[in-house]
Amino acid sequence: MKKEILFSSQAQRDYKKLSKETKRRIKASLKKLASGIKHLDIKKLKGIEGREDLFRLRIGDYRIVYYPQKTVIKVIRIDRRSKIYEWLE
């Protein structure tokens, strides 16, 4: 079952700043995630109490932070590894 991908307003701003090649790679990975392909570099983020279960999808040096629901994947942030986790603290 294919899930719908929704971007938060911050994720939309993050996506617009990326290069064409990076956008292409992220779009392809999100399509795979939505279609249920299992062979992606996904990990559950630890130490986040009081929030929904967040996951990260690794695409080279970039990370996509999202949380899955039954029919929707909500993308929260897209950024480089060096910056992506700062807003979680």
Classify residue 5 as exposed, middle or buried by CB count within 10 Å of its CB (0-12, 13-18, 19+).
middle
25 versus 45: which is more confidently predicted? 25
Q: How does the average pLDDT of the chain come out, rounded? A: 90
pLDDT of res. 37 = 87
Classify residue 22 as exposed, middle or buried by CB count within 10 Å of its CB (0-12, 13-18, 19+).
middle
pLDDT of res. 16 = 96
| Segment 43-72, tens digit of pLDDT | 998 866 666 788 999 999 999 999 999 899
Q: Domain with 64 in it: what CATH number?
A: 3.30.2310.20
Q: What is the count of structural domains for the chain?
A: 1
Sorted by sequence, the CB contacts under 8 Å of residue 26 that are 6+ apart come out as 15, 18, 59, 62, 64, 78
Q: Which sign does the torsion angle of CA 38, 5, 71, 63 carry?
A: positive
Boundaries of domain holding 79: 4-88
